[in-house]
Amino acid sequence: MAHGLEFELTVGMGTSTISATRMRTIRENDMSFRRQIAAAVVAAIGIGCTVHTATAGESGTFTVLTSMTTDYTTIAHAGGTIIGGASQGTSTTIRSSGGPFVEGGHSHTTCVVYGKRSAAGTELEAACTLTTPAGDELYVVSKRSAGDVAEGGGGAGGLMLMGGTGSNSGVTGSCTYEVDYLANNRYVSRAECAWKR
């Protein structure tokens, strides 16, 4: 293309002269602007999909089985019984709708337990930390006012999910559970949980 070509452009009542180089610049700027708009639209769609995906995974349900060994001390106290000690074992997620709780996932579980039994009833509470093989922790508080901790005992209770680290950061929720105490200072429990973040 020869340089120095000029075109006459009639705008309204007047006439203006535009060079071929200026026309090319206008066209390139127009194409660049269109590309920027297209890129912004694609980015907005991508961000929208990412936010939607993240939001969709921010709540759910899971079922966990726990098998523990206990080391409790029981004393008579003021007309009742005080129970204290620790328990540890393994928790396995057997069902999950998704999120940080993966079906088949395991955690090492350690709890510190305190409780009292009197004529008014039983009050048991345990603070537990569940640690995944990756080192992510989940903090749980268990409360129960039914049953016992002796062999053949157990009962229903509730758990509160109190957050954690790594993949469990910001996770809260609640569970209902049933526990059965076995021989040789062991117990098993099954919890049905709902979580959110």
- Tell me the pLDDT tens digit for each residue of 122-159: 999 999 999 999 999 999 999 999 998 999 999 999 99
Do the Cβ atoms of 23 and 4 come closer than 8 Å? no
What span, in angstroms and rounded, lies between the C-alpha atoms of 100 and 88? 22
Helix count and strand count (H, E) for the chain: 1, 10
Across the chain, mean pLDDT equals 83
In a domain, 1, yes or no: no
What's the angle, vertex CA 25, arms to CA 21 and CA 31, rounded to 5? 145
Domain count, the chain: 2
Structural domain including 33 reads: 6-56
Q: Are 108 and 146 contained in the same domain?
A: yes
Asked if 87 and 73 count as a contact pair (C-beta separation under 8 A), the reply is: no
Residue 47 pLDDT more than 50?
Answer: no
Q: Is 150 helix (H, G, I), strand (E, B) or coil?
A: coil
Q: Is the confidence at residue 33, as pLDDT, over 90? A: no
What is the model's pTM?
0.71
The residue among 100 and 17 whose pLDDT is bigger is 100
DSSP state of 168: G
Q: Are residues 117 and 190 in the same domain?
A: yes
Beta carbons of 63 and 190 less than 8 angstroms apart: yes
DSSP-derived 3-state class of residue 53: helix
The percentage of residues in the chain with a pLDDT greater than 70, rounded to a whole number, is 71
- We report the CATH number of the domain holding residue 127 as 2.40.160.20
Regarding whether 20 and 112 lie in a shared domain, the answer is no
Q: What integer pLDDT is reported at residue 95 of this predicted model?
A: 98
Residue 50 has pLDDT above 70, yes or no: no
Instruction: Encode pLDDT of 91-124 as tens digits.
Output: 999 999 999 999 999 999 999 999 999 999 999 9
To which residue do tokens 């009542």 refer? 13
